[in-house]
């Protein structure tokens, strides 16, 4: 008999049946009136998700496309940018800057820890030529959440600096009110909390950020924010739309809106806390004990056990896909995601399979102890 497949990686994430159904409908033309109507609905639903009055741009790409566009559309060649580099995706910000002639000034943060906002303030005060601060809301490679609200309060005081946040694994998981917190650019992606396949990227811009777009001199073609905004206001996309993905997006946004953002955030908090409790009950250490993200939990592999073996056994024997560590954390950690279309029983399943996997690898485990700790949290809201 074919085994059931469980996906608890931090992207792609599971897709609800109704979203799959919407994407399986016969394809329509991307300029047809019926599709124009769908885009009109999506514009308002994206504003709800990002908590903004401004338009949210959409591109047919992975989230990295919107990250790249956030650099090329707001900065000029030779501009300085402050980059918070505490994981693989912080490194990506620096790499994109370098590719387009922007000079990254990196704050290197120990993997598994969050940046101290005071360090950012000192850098901005000491160097008035910094034009942007680039950061992750949730550093997916380490399971760390950064203090976005506090940093936004700092950056807003500098008229010539914008605050750009990669929230690909943050939007729709925890509170990131774009307008209220004065974030300048917020980037999202389809394959995380939005419960879709990879292939759509999003970017919300503040009025301040749009003023930076006017001065930008970096070449751009496909990821052209001004061109995309002009089309979006006519309920169009500048280029050929990813029609099936967009149809699925409308369905997933309906689900989020029906649940309500506060309830969405509470659900993710509950699943994350249960995962962390289950890991701790097994004697495991969190990689980010002080600033854990509600998107993904990074767990240290026990001494003498390769974290990649944990990932492999869960995948090959139990048909459960999680994620391993990347770069310097490879083999040292494994990551269990709990965002998007993940529920109570997914967490119970992965914790129970983890218990069996650790036991197989020679780690002393009392079967059921991790599950019990997780269930004690999960049962509160069942």
Beta bridge partners of 186: 165, 204
pTM score, whole prediction:
0.97
pLDDT reading at 275 higher than 60: yes
Does 380 score more than 90 pLDDT? Answer: no
| Averaged pLDDT, 251-258 | 98
* Per-residue confidence band for 381, with pLDDT thresholds at 50, 70 and 90: low
Closest Cα to residue 200, out of 61, 103, 95? 61
Residue with tokens 């998007």: 340
Per-residue pLDDT of 112-127, as tens digits, reads: 999 999 999 999 999 9
pLDDT at 29 over 60: yes
Check residue 2 and give its pLDDT. 75
| pLDDT over 60 at 382, yes or no | no
Tell me if 320 sits within 8 A of 356, measured CB to CB: no
Chain mean pLDDT for the chain: 97
> What confidence score (pLDDT) does residue 3 get?
82
pLDDT in tens, 299-329: 999 999 999 999 999 999 999 999 999 999 9
Q: Is 110 exposed, middle or buried (0-12, 13-18, 19+ CB in 10 A)?
A: exposed
- Domains along the sequence of the chain with CATH: 6-12+260-381 (3.90.1150.10), 17-258 (3.40.640.10)
Q: How is residue 175 written in tokens? A: 């509170």
pLDDT bin (cut points 50, 70, 90) of residue 366 is very high
**Whether residue 216 has pLDDT greater than 60:** yes
Judge whether residue 82 has pLDDT over 70.
yes
Task: Please give the share of the chain, as a percent, with pLDDT higher than 90.
Answer: 98
């Amino acid at each position: 008999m074919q085994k059931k497949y469980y996906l608890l990686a931090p992207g792609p994430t599971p897709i609800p049946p109704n979203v799959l159904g919407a994407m399986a409908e016969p394809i329509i033309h991307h300029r047809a009136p019926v599709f124009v109507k769908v885009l009109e609905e999506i514009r308002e639903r994206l504003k709800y998700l990002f908590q903004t009055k401004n338009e949210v741009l959409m591109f047919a790409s992975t989230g990295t496309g919107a990250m790249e566009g956030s650099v090329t559309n707001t900065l000029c060649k030779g501009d300085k940018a402050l980059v918070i580099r505490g994981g693989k995706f912080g490194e990506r910000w620096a790499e994109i800057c370098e590719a387009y002639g922007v000079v990254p000034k990196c704050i290197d943060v120990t993997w598994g820890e969050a940046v101290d906002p005071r360090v950012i303030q000192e850098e901005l005060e000491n160097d008035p030529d910094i034009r942007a601060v680039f950061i992750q809301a949730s550093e997916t490679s380490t399971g760390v959440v950064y203090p976005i609200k506090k940093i936004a309060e700092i950056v807003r005081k500098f008229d010539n600096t914008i605050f750009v946040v990669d929230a690909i694994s943050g939007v729709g998981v925890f509170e990131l009110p774009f307008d209220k917190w004065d974030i300048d650019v917020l980037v999202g992606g389809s394959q995380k909390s939005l419960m879709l396949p990879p292939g759509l990227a999003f970017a919300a811009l503040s009025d301040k950020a749009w003023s930076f777009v006017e001065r930008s001199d970096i070449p751009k073609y496909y990821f052209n924010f001004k061109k995309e905004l002009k089309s979006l206001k006519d309920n169009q996309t500048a280029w050929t739309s990813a029609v099936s993905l967009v149809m699925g997006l409308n369905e997933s946004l309906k689900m989020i809106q029906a649940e309500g953002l506060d309830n969405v955030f509470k659900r993710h908090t509950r699943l994350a806390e249960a995962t962390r409790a289950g890991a701790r009950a097994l004697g495991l250490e969190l990689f980010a004990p002080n600033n854990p993200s509600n998107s993904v939990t990074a767990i240290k592999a026990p001494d003498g056990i390769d974290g990649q073996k944990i990932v492999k056994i869960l995948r090959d024997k139990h048909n459960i896909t999680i994620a391993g560590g990347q770069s310097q954390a490879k083999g040292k950690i494994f990551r269990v995601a709990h965002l998007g279309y993940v529920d109570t029983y997914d967490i119970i399943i992965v914790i129970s399979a983890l218990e069996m996997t650790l036991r197989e690898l020679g780690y002393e485990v009392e079967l059921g102890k991790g599950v019990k700790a997780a269930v004690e949290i999960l049962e509160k809201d069942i």
